[in-house]
Amino acid sequence: MEEHKSINFIEEIVEQDLKDGKYKSIITRFPPEPNGFLHIGHAKSICFNFGLAIKYNGKCNLRFDDTNPETEKTDYVNSIKTDIQWLGFNWDAEYYASDYFDQLYNFAIKLIEKDLAYVDDSTSEEIANLKGTPTSVGSDSPFRNRAIAENLELFKDMKAGKYPDGSKVLRAKIDMKHHNMLMRDPIIYRIKHAHHHRTENKWCIYPMYDFAHGQSDSIEQITHSICTLEFVPHRELYDWFIQQLDIFPSKQYEFARGNMSYAITSKRNLLKLVNEKVVSGWDDPRMPTISGLRRRGFTPQSIRLFWEKVGIQKRENLIDVGLLEFCVREELNKISLRRMAVLDPIKLVITNYPADKTENLSAENNPEDENGGHRSLAFGKELWIERDDFMENPSPKYFRLGVGLSVRLKHAYIITCTNFDKDENGNITAVYCTYNPDTKSGQDQTGIKVKGTIHWVDVKTANTAEVHLYDRLFTVENPGMEEGDILEYINNDSLKIIKNAMIEPSLSEARKEDYFQFVRMGYFCLDTESSADKIKFNRTVTLKDNWAKKK
RNA sequence: UGGCUUAUGGUGUAACUGGCAACACGUCUGAUUUUGGUUCAGAAGAGUCUAGGUUCGAAACCUAGUAAGCCAACCA
């Protein structure tokens, strides 16, 4: 029996449309409003829209939905383009809803001429009051039956700038008693004497979303206009405009947005985190923004894999952030350069090693990559090791150092702990050991087996670096659903700064585009603010740690 | 006194459109390992929101409920 590939409901529609010859090829689009930064949720839409075009050999446009001049900026346009490209996608055409303002205006005229739109002088409160509620019908505006000629005249005067903001609107004439509130004579044009990031001061009237989005789709001959579930009620209006205007019949399909645990994606709350200085900015590595994830060290591939695994569906969801972490570990395990860094150092002294001796050891860059090559590591009498790798009173399951216990120093020798120093506060200040010269890595013939291997950095050649350890930003799984202020659920330990981590010398030459695994500690990358005299690393994610779970 | 959408292990999705629930993450064993990582072998965990019905057979179809989300911005 032939293997049945599982496709989602939208792909089913696409395949059917293609099979029926409804379209020769498909065109999708990603339609961000340039009023903020893209986040992990947008990535789902990006992956899906661009992915569909790739899979079915169609096209995908980038279209900025810039119909509200008061909130939109060219800066956002640029950040959005950067993020999409970083994710690995290329758009076929770059468009702006504002490119269509003239056509949209003419569409509005056409509607007025068909007596399907009218100018309303009511205030926004009056309009809201007459609109009714979801459970009760609305009623007609006193301006609803203006003559076509008068509407035409007034609308032209609106465009000419004869009226102040908010004094008049153009509304579609549909049905004030419609069960769908969006069909109750929706506003399609409003007056805003505002500077637009692209059309500058050409216009003082701007179309609303519902009068711009579908028509823009139609102008671009978008075959499958894919959006999130909250637009389901808009579909009826979307179709109505296209039908009344008799233009290319783009079709809207909706899927559920993806929510991730311990994260928020509402623009309002994201902005709040930035404004309240809970985070350092939109690209703070704890932010679920694309720029934040990038700075944190997530790879584009891992984000694409994540959304591929999640799939497309129509039900509410809360995806475990652990899945994203799994995806990034999976890729980083294959591509990252292994390096050694000691985050919480204590000194280890090898008592039987000559004080003036230095050896250069060979260390593989990546055991998962045969062609990964090797680097040279200096080794000497005094080393930095992790404080956690020594215990004064080790438990039987502890496979690291304690008096009488042996471990291998990664890429070097097997050592046995002999004693240690402690200060008056009970803190360990130094650990002493002896090494076995016959156990050198790669040429060990002794057959001695040890339970643990620990990482280290040579004291004489080590450099220091600042390392940022990140944890989830929120203390609750679904912060967006909690009552009250989002700030009440901030995890105060989401950032731990280590000022003086000891790093092996080769890490001083790290480049911004490198991905590292600090052996046994996790995946790291250089921070965007890192400089030659102040090296800064970000921890992307820890390694899986069975020992931590057992403890 | 409404409309629309949805409901499958802890989480996210499948089930070739009616043939007895599969995959991934997570969890738990064990093996391997110079990373308590990786890899490998295996296990537990849902009987598909509820109640009826159609059918030889229902997660799927029908009916009635229940629950959740969305809809009353001159936002998108």
pLDDT score at A303: 98
pLDDT score at A80: 98
Angle, helices A74-87/A300-310, rounded to nearest 10 degrees: 80
Answer yes or no: is A8 CB < 7 A from strand B: yes
Answer yes or no: is A520 CB < 7 A from strand B: yes
Answer yes or no: is A545 CB < 7 A from strand B: yes
Domain boundaries, chain A: 9-255, 260-337+465-550, 341-455
Residue A42 DSSP code: H
Strand-pair partners of A350: A433
Classified by CATH at the fold level, domain A341-455 comes out as Ribosomal Protein L25; Chain P (2.40.240)
Select A9-255's CATH number: 3.40.50.620, 3.40.1210.10, 3.90.1150.10, 3.60.20.10. Answer: 3.40.50.620
Residue A122 DSSP code: -
Cα–Cα dist A396/A72, whole Å: 62
Question: In chain A, what is the greatest distance between 2 CA atoms, to the nearest angstrom?
Answer: 102
Nucleotide nearest to A186 in CA–C1' terms: B74
Residues 152-211, chain A, CB closer than 7 Å to nucleic strand B: 165-169, 179-182, 187, 190-192, 206, 208-209
- Bases of chain B within 7 A of a CB of the protein: 1-8, 10-17, 24-28, 34-39, 68-76
Under 8 Å between Cβ of A374 and A362: yes
Pull the structure tokens for residue A253. 């399909």
Provide the CA A40 to C1' B43 distance, Å, integer.
35
pLDDT score at A540: 98
pLDDT score at A406: 97
Of chain A, the end-to-end C-alpha distance in Å amounts to: 48
pLDDT score at A6: 85
Cα–Cα dist A468/A395, whole Å: 30
Under 8 Å between Cβ of A212 and A33: no
pLDDT score at A4: 53
Provide the CA A378 to C1' B15 distance, Å, integer.
57
Cα–Cα dist A35/A418, whole Å: 63
Nucleotide nearest to A333 in CA–C1' terms: B38
Residue A516 has a CB neighbour count (10 Å cut-off) of 23
Q: Which residue is nearest to nucleotide B11 (CA to C1')?
A: A320
pLDDT score at A2: 39
pLDDT score at A551: 78
Looking at this predicted complex, what is its ipTM?
A: 0.96
Provide the CA A47 to C1' B31 distance, Å, integer.
39
CA atoms in the 13 A half-sphere facing the CB of A499 = 0
Q: Which residues of chain A have pLDDT under 50?
A: 1-3
Give every CB contact of residue A84 below 8 A, 6+ residues apart in sequence.
A30, A38, A46, A62, A91
pLDDT score at A484: 86
- Buried/exposed A297-311: b ≥16 CB within 10 Å, e otherwise: bbbbbbbbbbbeebe
Provide the CA A327 to C1' B23 distance, Å, integer.
16
Residue A371 has a CB neighbour count (10 Å cut-off) of 6
Classified by CATH at the fold level, domain A260-337+465-550 comes out as Glutamyl-tRNA Synthetase; domain 2 (1.10.1160)
Indicate which residues of A carry an active-site annotation. 33, 257, 267
Answer yes or no: is A411 CB < 7 A from strand B: yes
Cα–Cα dist A332/A297, whole Å: 10
Provide the CA A123 to C1' B23 distance, Å, integer.
56
- Where does A49-91 show beta strands of DSSP type E? 59-64
Answer yes or no: is A5 CB < 7 A from strand B: no
Answer yes or no: is A442 CB < 7 A from strand B: yes
Provide the CA A449 to C1' B32 distance, Å, integer.
14
Residues A357-401 pLDDT 10s: 999 999 999 999 999 999 999 999 999 999 999 999 999 999 999
